[in-house]
Chain A
Amino acid sequence: MIALLRSDAYRVLHSRWIWATAGIVAFLLLAPALVMRWTSMGPVFYDDLTGSALPMTGVQILAAAMASIVCCDRTDIGFARSVLSSLGERARMVWFAEKCVFSLLLAAALIAFTFVVGLLGLLVSGVPVASPEPAWQVAAWLGCSWLCAAPYVALTVLVAHITRNESVTTVFAVLSAGGLLEGGLLIGIDFLQALLGGEFLTVTAAVGPWLPAEIASAVGAGAQTMLSAENAVQLAPALRALVVCPPVAVAAVAADALLASRRDVA
């Protein structure tokens, strides 16, 4: 596993797309900060650090898209086949699991990078933070952001290995991590229920707060919101993330290692 992780880290770090992504993220975070500084526009101060200009709300979309790039090297024609042909049967199962683990580590690196550049942007903008949270809250917030990205990353890897299709995987990554797939599914169920004589949107009202996209949105709003139980289900989004995200991610990793690795790879 470690050898495969090193290999993937090498090939990603020697690819142009990773540096292009880092450049775009840095630009999107630093450019508004510079504009704020030069024009003296923007807020007078931020209430806290995690609710400031550190945008973690959409980070899971980028993490899933990066996973789709990492795992769309097709096993049937690409470099992956060359590696897989040099691995024994058991090591091949590890190879599939490693792709999930690597993508999750990449998501963690992305979140850490976004946080650091976001902090830099905060400094550049010159907007003060009134009452920064304690370090443990910031760490928990970062961890929770990663937890919210994990199901989307793992599911994207699973879709990549099952479909072996870059377009399908990328579309799935963006739609699922954007919450459109799960939202659409719920609305569909609600619509069917309404057709059968039930009340419209009852399923969405009951299940909605437990959807990963809904939890990710609440976590993205900042550490205070993440830890607050003042919401529809009276349970902090951090706890809901712990209940929902790890099982989904683990199930996707297990399905990938057990199902995808049993298929012909070429």
Chain B
Amino acid sequence: MDYRKFTELQIDALREVGNIGAGNAATALSQMIQKRIDMSVPEAAILPLEEMIQKIGNEEDMVVAVIIRVFGDAPGNMVFLLTMNSAHELLKMLLDEESEGDLTEMQISALQEIGNILTGAYINSIVKLTGMMLVSSVPAISVDMLYSLMTTAFIESGQFDEYIMSIEAKFIMGKKNIKGYFFYIPKPGSLEKLIQTLGLA
């Protein structure tokens, strides 16, 4: 599947879908932690996996990700990703206590729930926008090196090609520079279906 064949308008539409999803997710998270969350202008990127990873950090950086499988009309994987530092900052805000080192069971549970709420908000907003039928799985949390995590998530979605499309939004919470990344990694065919539903085929 060569994503480079999408037109400007189609990519723009996909980016806006990502924007709406991430914005709704940011609102949900903000309500949860009672703090304001800003969002960067989202990107719909078509890049080799390696380049995508480099945009986030170093391949061996430890990251935490909540991965949710999406089933229905536009199946794929949804990944909410945080660097370990950002995860600790977020947990501090949420659980109101210091956080460092390995994650405790309670912290893992909290992150899983955050991921669940975020991806739920993301998916619900896409459903509202498109009328598509989408359901999500129970979230799986993973603490791993950036490279391993991203490659697994992409391979799981059936994307073996050199060029990968992802819709990425960055959350920024206060001056602490907590950056959370959102990736919707579609299974082959899902983006086409989405574009079709938006009337842009």
Q: Are A and B associated in one complex?
A: no
Interface set of B (CB-CB < 8 Å, partner A): none
